[in-house]
Amino acid sequence: MDGNFEIIAQVLFWGIYSGCIYILLATGLNLIFGVMKIVNFAHGEFLMLGTYITFFLFIMSGFNPYVLLCASIPLLVVIGIIVERLCFRPILGTGKLNEIFVSIGLIYIIQNLVARIWTDEWKTIQSPYRDITLDLGVIYVPLDYLIIMAVTAILLIGLYLFLHKTWIGTAIRATSQDRAGAMLMGINVERMDMITFGIGAALAGAAGTLWAVSGQVFNPYMGSIPAIKAFAIIILGGLGSIPGAIIGGLAVGLVENGAAYTLGGAWKDAVSFILLIIVLIIRPTGLFGEDEE
Amino acid sequence: MPYHDTVTDMKQGISYCILVSILIMGTLLFSGCTEQSAPETTETIKIGVVASMSGPASTTGKDIWQSAELAANEINADGGVLVKELNKKIPITLVQGDDESTREGGIKAVSKLITQDNVDLLVGGYSSAVVSAHQSIVADNKVPYIISGGSSTAVSHRDDIDTSYMFFHRPNTDDSAKASVIFINEVVRPEIYKKFNLPEDRPLRVALIFQDSPFGKGQQEAVLHLIKEMDLPIEIVAEETFKMGESDFRTTLTSVKSKKPDLIYAVTFLNELIPLTQQAKRDVGMNTLILSIENNDDPDYYTGVGEYGDYTLMESRFSPYAIPKGSTSEMTKQFLDNFKQKYGGFAGMMGAATYESIYIATKAIEEAGTTEKGAVQKTLSDLTTDHMMEVMKDGKITFSPDYHESSFDLYVEQMKIDPAVGEIRPSIVWPESIKEKGFEIPDWYQPGST
Amino acid sequence: MNLSFIREKKISLPLITIIIALVLPHILGSNLYFLTVLNLMLIFIIYASAWNFLTFSGQGSLGHAAFFGMGGYFSSLIAIKAGVPLIIAIIAGAGLTSVIGVLIGMTCVRLREWFLAMVTFGFAVIIQTIVVISQLNPITGGWDGYAVPKLIPLSIPGSQMIEYYCILIIAIGSILLFQFLLKSKTGLALAAIRENEMEAKASGINPVPFKLFAFGISSFITAIAGALEVAHFGYISPEIFGTDISFWPIIYSITGGLGTLAGPVVGTVVISLLWEGLNALGLTYERFIVIGVLLILTIIFLPKGLVSLPDAIKNLKKDGK
């Protein structure tokens, strides 16, 4: 019985860890959706760029990879702004699903550019703290995972403060609630689009750094599956709802790892979609989505 | 849509259509002919190399192509292949067929090699799924094809098509599983039982972690089948699958740990073995041995896995660092050196097999005395030649009469940290004939409880 | 100016295309490589057209590989297990697929477009996972897959050529079917739903059966394309459910022209030729970059796809004058 409890605690812990990556991805996606009402299917490519930027800077500088967050976040903001300006702004307000089709093009472009530059071999980096393990009473866990969870929490709190305490944050929230109204109030909504997209990309990039630091391997094609799951998460949690993204992210992380434990690892991808479909059959607007029509 | 100007519309439509048809023919002829534009004045032997130059398998694809190129250059530097029929030496021309790591790409590449480039022979082929999709046109066109991939027996043991022109120069999933299982039973089991004074009637507890793919499932079935057939005292305590490309094994390993295995048998790709090994040691804290399989024997494993790879085991047939003693070692060293000189870096297992395939092909043509496909097929079926780099059964490369498979002598390596390079390095620990060192149980090792 | 010209234009364009398609293999010579490329092209024309038909109802799918693959599995299993002729098995398999398509559609019709995209994508992943679970191995062959009877047995001389014409006939047939459906009352209802679902509802059209109908037809034809592909390869394996298989028809339809009958045809031809051409130039990663850039440029600057290119050029000329 005691042993069982330990295993369940351990599986829960891995669920929360993978939930952290999903939360960062999904929060970014949802922020962008709130303001621009588009879904960027190529969001996982920002995650992948985050891992590669971390890798590249780590090899170049040898700095602590956690410190490299300070570099990967601003870099991803810039990349996000460029992508928004070139690919998404021109199609705002055009046909349904157009942004998904644009994203498919973006996926091909970014993946293969990275493969062209850094080859498509699998890469990995090691954290300086990899040998430190802490005793949490029930389970032993490596320090890195606790840092990763703490960094995720700090980023989310930082985002909350930014959205609620700064002028730009307030303007982003206003645009998200009522775009036309925000425009009438003199907010430059296109600039808000750019900033939001940049922040969304940066959150994905930060997730990329955390992914690499945890010792997981990466290659140019690694971003698609996490991004699609993040997409499923925001639908699960309700489009545009950031608490929904957080709870949805945790839920998917836990369900996936629970499925890997009970059904086997092959079910990991399928089970998050099964969860999604069940939720949508019961509640077509997602758990926290507002009712329409 | 505005139809105000219908007459010009129609004219434009027709010219548009003509333009499209010219485009179709132009591109097809262009894409079909580029390889032929090479000077055709001198006679050459054309060998098509089916390799994944793009897509997920492209790392292996490049290895295959470069090794083939190396072999062809060596042969051509020597004047080429002696063809008795023409009474002179003829150089080899390699033609690349990129299967794009997809079934559609593979069938296009192979049909192009066969009809556009008129190759005399095909080598290469990697993913079982890709190979299975273009096997039928190879069978139909009767081109000898030395396949160094497609390890699934579903590919080599097909009976719905005529596979007489296909030759498989690789161990199939049954062969590599057999080597692993015998090693576990003959070496690992006695050592552990001796060290920990375990009762002889306790079966050895093995956990299987395998990729959810033809490759992984094939190994799983073979292992289960062998244990039953040979009635070995081995109990499979866990069978865990994972998706191809998985990098998070923490939950899977937690589940495996709770089953208390004595050893983990991991059927993975390189990119999966590195995180699996690290996570087993570091995150889940498992003090057990991991036995992995041949396709992971790559320099990237040694650098990627770091100190967590200490004492891990690997079933193998070609390694960048462990060269088996005996008749194959000289050629292996030379191949690795030449490869490094030309491309910078290490050749992999698939590269070695393709390099050998080119030599097997030339041998067959020399013996047949002609490049005529039927005659080459016949010589290949009866061919017996000395092994080159990979150690073969009885030191000879020969294709079995039933499914045209060559048989390998596989070995097992154990990794140890080499302080001089700060990375792990392998030593062969099995079989007896070529072993460099004895199998060691690390101090931290703990057997699973009964 | 007058109606006869409009009619002529509408008929002459497809007619010329068909004539080209009929004579093309003879001009190129009955060559394995050209025929392979052309056969795959035709299969993807059928597939892309079927995907495109769904967009006529205002729906979209990111997981059509689910139907493509199911068509392949059902038809070949029926052919092997029941021993019926392949052509009957293909139709039966497609029928079975469309039943599942309608069932999937039932979970989708109430959903907004993004949700729909995600759910369809998810179904492709789920169905692949189910096909390879070990309990079904005796039937599906698991990851190994199994050999499938060829559409035209290789023993028949000129089988590749016969295969080409068979697939061509099916391609023309399915496009004619789509044209017929779009011109019918159903097509008008679909258009009304696509343009404005609320208004359609207000004018007494219940969108649900029409959307389901679109799902059923689209999955039926997609399944036929899938069955043709595996019959062409002579082998089926679960890779058929891959994401790339879901994405190609989207790329073809969009670059060709979303919501037009000619779009998927033009898009498939142009993109696959471009692909082969870039391949011949030895470009690997760059191929994907070119396709990606082309896709984005088409969406931004040519929202009606390549079929609208002549009009766009004409307009540009007019503006220039």
For A256-274, the pLDDT digits (tens) are 998 888 888 888 888 888 8
- The mean pLDDT value of chain C amounts to 88
Burial environment of residue B297 by CB neighbours within 10 A (0 to 12, 13 to 18, 19 or more): buried
Write down the pLDDT at residue A292: 46
B26 close to B101: Cβ distance less than 8 angstroms: no
Say whether both B200 and B332 belong to one domain. Answer: no
Burial environment of residue B8 by CB neighbours within 10 A (0 to 12, 13 to 18, 19 or more): exposed
With pLDDT > 70 as the criterion, what percentage of chain C qualifies?
95
Q: Do A260 and B271 touch (CB under 8 A)?
A: no
Q: Do A261 and B241 touch (CB under 8 A)?
A: no
Say whether both B188 and B147 belong to one domain. Answer: no
Chain C residue whose CA is closest to A224: C243
pLDDT in tens, A181-202: 999 999 999 999 999 999 999 9
The two beta strands, B289-292 and B45-51, are unpaired
How far away is chain A from the Cα of C61, in angstroms, using its nearest Cα?
A: 10
**Helix (H, G, I), strand (E, B), or coil: what is residue C295?**
helix
**Total beta-carbon pairs less than 8 A apart between chain B and chain C:** 162
Look at residue A293 and tell me whether its pLDDT is greater than 60. Answer: no
Q: Do A112 and C110 touch (CB under 8 A)?
A: no
Q: Do A274 and C122 touch (CB under 8 A)?
A: yes
Question: Measured between beta carbons, which residues in chain C are less than 8 angstroms from residue A273?
Answer: 119, 121-123, 125-126
Q: Do C300 and A39 touch (CB under 8 A)?
A: no
Q: Does B102 touch chain A (CB under 8 A)?
A: no
- A85 - beta bridge partners? none
Q: Does B425 touch chain A (CB under 8 A)?
A: no
With pLDDT > 90 as the criterion, what percentage of chain C qualifies?
46
**Residue C224 to residue B355: CA distance in whole angstroms:** 42
Look at residue C93 and tell me whether its pLDDT is greater than 90. Answer: yes
Residue C202 lies in a domain: yes
Chain C residue whose CA is closest to A270: C126
**Residue A154 to residue A141: CA distance in whole angstroms:** 20
Residue C59 lies in a domain: yes
Question: Measured between beta carbons, which residues in chain B are less than 8 angstroms from residue C132?
Answer: 212
C-alpha B349 chain-centroid distance: 6
**Residue C166 to residue B60: CA distance in whole angstroms:** 37
**Total beta-carbon pairs less than 8 A apart between chain A and chain B:** 88
Look at residue C138 and tell me whether its pLDDT is greater than 50. Answer: yes
pLDDT in tens, B227-275: 999 999 999 999 999 888 888 999 999 999 999 999 999 999 888 999 9
Say whether both B302 and B252 belong to one domain. Answer: yes
How far away is chain B from the Cα of C285, in angstroms, using its nearest Cα?
A: 7
Q: Do C129 and A91 touch (CB under 8 A)?
A: no
Residue C4 lies in a domain: no
* pTM score: 0.87
Say whether both B154 and B53 belong to one domain. Answer: yes
Query: Residue C98: which domain range?
Result: 32-242
**Total beta-carbon pairs less than 8 A apart between chain A and chain C:** 121
Say whether both B150 and B255 belong to one domain. Answer: no
Write down the pLDDT at residue B41: 46
Structure-model confidence comparison of residues A255 and C25, the more confident one: A255
Say whether both B146 and B242 belong to one domain. Answer: no
Q: Do A269 and C129 touch (CB under 8 A)?
A: yes
Residue B243 sits in a domain whose CATH number is 3.40.50.2300
Write down the pLDDT at residue B38: 45
Q: Subunits with at least 3 CB pairs below 8 A relative to chain A?
A: B, C
- The total domain count for chain C is 1
How far away is chain B from the Cα of A124, in angstroms, using its nearest Cα?
A: 7
Q: Do C125 and A269 touch (CB under 8 A)?
A: yes
Write down the pLDDT at residue A119: 83
Chain C interface, best mutation among B3, B30, B31, B127, by max C CB count within 10 A: B31
Question: Measured between beta carbons, which residues in chain A are less than 8 angstroms from residue B282?
Answer: 130-131, 133, 142, 215
Residue C293 lies in a domain: no
Write down the pLDDT at residue C110: 77
Distances (CA, A) of B338 to B47, B73, B316, B334: 21, 11, 22, 6
pLDDT in tens, C139-169: 888 888 899 998 888 778 888 889 999 999 9
- The total domain count for chain B is 2
Sign of CA pseudo-dihedral B380, B384, B385, B390: positive
Residue B448 lies in a domain: no
Question: Measured between beta carbons, which residues in chain A are less than 8 angstroms from residue C286?
Answer: 112, 116
B260 close to B448: Cβ distance less than 8 angstroms: yes
Q: Do A100 and C292 touch (CB under 8 A)?
A: no
Which residue positions in chain B have pLDDT lower than 50?
Answer: 1-8, 34-41
Write down the pLDDT at residue B376: 94
pLDDT band of residue A45 (cuts 50, 70, 90) is very high
**Helix (H, G, I), strand (E, B), or coil: what is residue B415?**
strand
Write down the pLDDT at residue B433: 86
Say whether both B256 and B348 belong to one domain. Answer: no
Beta-carbon contacts of residue C291 (< 8 Å; ≥ 6 apart)? A105, A108, C251, C271, C274, C275
Residue C286 lies in a domain: no
Of C122, C292, C303, the CB nearest to A106: C292
Residues in A 269-288 with any Cβ partner in C closer than 8 A:
269-270, 272-274, 276-277, 280-281, 284-286
**What does residue A269 show for φ and ψ, rounded to 5 degrees?**
-75, -45
Chain A residue whose CA is closest to C58: A96
Chain A interface, best mutation among B100, B240, B248, B282, by max A CB count within 10 A: B248
Say whether both B139 and B179 belong to one domain. Answer: no
**Residue B242 to residue B208: CA distance in whole angstroms:** 11
A112 close to C286: Cβ distance less than 8 angstroms: yes
Q: In sequence order, what E strands does chain A have?
A: 133-135, 140-142
pLDDT band of residue C11 (cuts 50, 70, 90) is low
Structure-model confidence comparison of residues A280 and B9, the more confident one: A280
Look at residue C42 and tell me whether its pLDDT is greater than 50. Answer: yes
Query: Residue B211: which domain range?
Result: 174-316+410-434
Q: Does B212 touch chain A (CB under 8 A)?
A: yes
Residue C63 lies in a domain: yes
Question: Measured between beta carbons, which residues in chain A are less than 8 angstroms from residue C197?
Answer: none
Write down the pLDDT at residue C321: 56
Q: Does A108 touch chain C (CB under 8 A)?
A: yes
Q: Do A122 and B270 touch (CB under 8 A)?
A: yes
Q: Do B140 and C142 touch (CB under 8 A)?
A: no
Of C1, C17, C266, the CB nearest to B6: C1
Residue B125 lies in a domain: yes
Prior bond of C207 cis (ω within 30°): no
ipTM: 0.88
- The mean pLDDT value of chain A amounts to 88
Domain A2-282: which topology? Answer: ABC transporter involved in vitamin B12 uptake, BtuC (1.10.3470)
pLDDT band of residue C58 (cuts 50, 70, 90) is confident
